[in-house]
A and B are shown apart, each in its own frame.
Chain A
Amino acid sequence: MPALLILIPLLAILALNLPWKSLMNRLAFWVGLALCLVQTGLALQPQSRFWHSPSLWLGNLLLFEPSVDHLSLVMFLAIGIVGAVTLFVCRYSTACAGNRFMVINVLILALTGMNGVVLANDLFSLYVFLEITAVASYILIAFEKGRDAFEGAFKYLILSAVATVMILAALALLMLTAGDLSFAAIQAAIASSPHSRVVLAAIALLMVGLFIKGGLVPFHGWLPDAYSAAPAAASVLLAGIVTKTTGIYTLIRLVTSVIGYNDTLQTLLLFVGAASMLIGALAALGQSDFKRMLAYSSISQVGYMVLGLGAGTVLGMVGAIFHLFNHAIFKSLLFVNAAAVEQQSGTRDMNRMGGLAEKMPVTGWTSVVAFLSTAGIPPLAGFWSKLIIIVALWEAGYTTYAALAVLASLLTLAYFLSMQRRVFFGKLAAGFESLKEGNLWILVPACVLALITIGIGVGIPWLFETFMLPIRSLL
């Protein structure tokens, strides 16, 4: 029945656009939230019949019965949580009910697109759902129609189009070789002719396309503009889950289930991962715009995931997927905090802020939890995933890359300490005397995400046993 994760949201969008406009305007938020929470609840029960029993009538309708593994479940969980948080942020930051209704529709479309990406077991279907997610993202970025928003959306559109061309070209080459685009057929074709130039060219195009989608160095140019110019809700969605699903999850899925590891691919992944990790962290150090700094931080954290994947071992892959999930939580939390600060203070310039935690204590302290987790401070969630990645690199003999990962973690600590000092702590900056904490629509998701971050850190044995260890079956 997992195909319902595509069909039900589609039906929900159609139902929301029935003629009873005022009723639908009121219902849209709750329908979106229900979809996200049901998905989250189901993902937390790996043994549920929903994931394993076929749906006969739906199977006939879609001719699609995907098989779901633990990697898919982790992604559904992250998509559900970040989707729900995005809806809360949208409710908080979009005052006009009509605009909010439209944004929620596009959000549900983006979530459906990401569900499709996770469920796809065929490269062409994967491409179709990547495009659905991308089109919804362009709209969400440009939604406020400011100059910066259009520039951010345009850069994302152009670079995403370049990625699309590359992925499509790769699909054409693989179709020539395998005669089919299902993961199984392509895996067999690659295994039977691993040194074919056509296959190698296709893999190279696919990799570069996914590096662009994931915002990895040197293809990261679009990401800081898109993240910082997007409205608050879109920033949370993009940074929390969109680029992780379209770029990193797809990369992990294709490397583990289709392409397979080889020395060249591992070297490429390790190099790109390390470059992203270090360049992202160094660039974040020099930023004064709150959201732009978080965007560069995302590039750096994505570098860790790719580095873990590049280790080529079960532990490395588990670390990469665990960090992807953790990043979805703590980076969403940081963007939720940024949304609260921007909405309440009217600025994102960190040089103009200071001491805001005095007036916005919940925002201030939840941001401390998020930054400590991002920097890999024990016992928070980020510590465990970074530790697993570093141990995996060390065990695989990539000691230099392991040392670089530790160094990047120190850089992360440095730029987040600088952010905390400039924004939340120290003396209250002039002009912010009458500043108030945001309302419950922004505080509830911030507290929930902070609790998840702490909970994962404390409950690591259960999480590792239930979700992470079963992932080893992928390799």
Chain B
Amino acid sequence: MTSPLLFVALLMLLLLAGVWTVMTLNLLKSAIGLAITSVLLTLLLFLLDAPLAGVFELSVCAGLITVVFISAISLTKPLTGPEASERDRSRVKRFFFLPILIAGAAWVLYALGLRLDSPLPPAIAEMDVRQVLWNVRRLDLVGQILIILAGVFGVVILFKDRSDKKEAPKS
């Protein structure tokens, strides 16, 4: 049986990685922070006996999304030194409440004394994921197609003019 201390340690690391992802100024470090957060979440999912969710988290969130983010970041121009230090100061001011908020939320959850360790009903726990996706939640798959279509239209609409402008000759 996994020690509760390991869960606590992983959760603390997860929170630290999440806060660092939001607080850090450097976009590349932020993307790496997000990947680390996903890896830690993957570990938790494996420990909680949800290997399939873990695999999805690792391959999509830690892998694919990080690659997309880093590709996009490589197309941007980094801030100069003075700009970066100014941004750094304002960012710390803007997000100083974040750790306090997390601590507050943790205290509220602790005070509520929620018992979340009840086992799932056997009918749900024993269901195969393929069966759930294709035989139970087929409507949600249609929803997923619609979300993907919305994403595609979003990229085309929001990035179309930029490439046009880039190609236009300078006056």
Contact = CB atoms under 8 A, between A and B. Distances in A.
Nearest to A128: B143
Which of A3, A7, A142, A176 has the most CB atoms of chain B within a 10 A radius of its CB? A176
A407 interface: no
Given A62-B142, A128-B143, A197-B114, A145 B158 contact: yes
A139 B150 contact: yes
A135 B147 contact: yes
B161 to A, nearest CB: 6
Contacts of A6: 139, 142
B46 interface: no
Contact of A64 (B120, B138, B150): B138
A180 B124 contact: yes
Given A125-B140, A176-B120, A197-B112, A113 B161 contact: no
Interface string A119-137: 0000011001101100110
A179 interface: yes
A173 B114 CA distance: 10
B95 to A, nearest CB: 13
Interface in A220-266: none
Interface in B127-171: 135-140, 142-147, 149-151, 153-154, 156-158, 160-161
B82 interface: no
Given A6-B142, A201-B112, A106 B120 contact: no
B72 interface: no
Contacts of B158: 139, 142-143, 145
A275 to B, nearest CB: 23
A99 to B, nearest CB: 8
A102 interface: yes
Given A124-B140, A125-B139, A128-B143, A109 B153 contact: yes
Nearest to A106: B153
B116 interface: yes
B121 interface: yes
B161 A145 contact: yes
A3 B146 CA distance: 15
B162 to A, nearest CB: 8
Nearest to B138: A63
B145 A10 contact: yes
A63 B135 contact: yes
Which of the four size classes fits the interface of chain B? 20 to 34
B75 interface: no
A105 interface: yes
A139 B146 contact: no
Contacts of B100: none
Contacts of A138: 154
A470 to B, nearest CB: 26
A64 B154 contact: no
A112 interface: yes
A132 B146 CA distance: 7
B138 A62 contact: yes
Contacts of A177: 118
A387 interface: no
Given A10-B145, A102-B156, A109-B146, A197 B138 contact: no
B123 A116 contact: no
Nearest to B156: A102
A201 B113 CA distance: 11
A109 B136 CA distance: 23
Interface in B103-124: 112-116, 118, 120-121, 123-124
Contacts of A176: 116, 118, 120
A132 B116 contact: no
A21 to B, nearest CB: 13
Given A102-B153, A179-B123, A197-B112, A62 B139 contact: yes
B114 A201 contact: yes
Nearest to B162: A145
Given A106-B153, A135-B151, A197-B113, A179 B146 contact: no
Contacts of A99: 157
Nearest to B134: A63
Nearest to B161: A145
Given A13-B149, A106-B153, A138-B154, A128 B114 contact: no
B147 A179 contact: no
27 contacts: A6-B139, A10-B142, A10-B146, A10-B149, A62-B142, A63-B139, A64-B139, A99-B157, A102-B160, A103-B157, A106-B150, A106-B157, A109-B149, A131-B147, A135-B150, A135-B154, A139-B150, A139-B157, A139-B158, A173-B114, A175-B120, A175-B124, A176-B116, A179-B124, A180-B124, A197-B114, A198-B116
Q: Closest 5 A-B residue pairs measured CB to CB?
A: A179-B121, A128-B143, A139-B154, A135-B150, A64-B139
Interface of B: 112-116, 118, 120-121, 123-124, 135-140, 142-147, 149-151, 153-154, 156-158, 160-161
Given A6-B139, A112-B146, 11 more contacts: A63-B138, A99-B157, A102-B153, A106-B153, A109-B149, A113-B146, A129-B143, A142-B158, A179-B120, A179-B121, A179-B124
